[in-house]
Amino acid sequence: MDIVIAPPFTALHAAAEAARNSSVCIAAQDLYWEREGAFTGEVSAMMIAETGAEYVIVGTPSGGRCSERPTRR
């Protein structure tokens, strides 16, 4: 790996296909910890893996503060 690119989720699959067999790796910009469910605007690890992305940037500033996310009880 020489370069890691983190496009928006909607472009992950196309980027992973374009980067196949190259020194470029693809990362998602964030992920949501729940495995499934309706969480508007959130992307699970399984959904990211299905795109072909190999990395994730966790805790990006655009993801908001941790206290704003729902907690599991």
Alpha-helical regions (H) of 1-73: 12-19, 45-51
Residue range 31-40: average pLDDT?
74
Instruction: Give me the pLDDT at residue 2, please.
Output: 79
Amino acid at 56: V
Joined together, the tokens standing for residue 51 give 């795109």
Q: How far apart, in Å, are the Cα atoms of 66 and each of 20, 30, 62, 69?
A: 34, 13, 11, 6
Instruction: Give me the pLDDT at residue 32, please.
Output: 85
Q: What does pTM read for this prediction?
A: 0.71
The residue among 57 and 14 whose pLDDT is bigger is 14
- pLDDT for 22 beyond 60: yes
Contact present, 53 and 28 (Cβ < 8 Å): yes
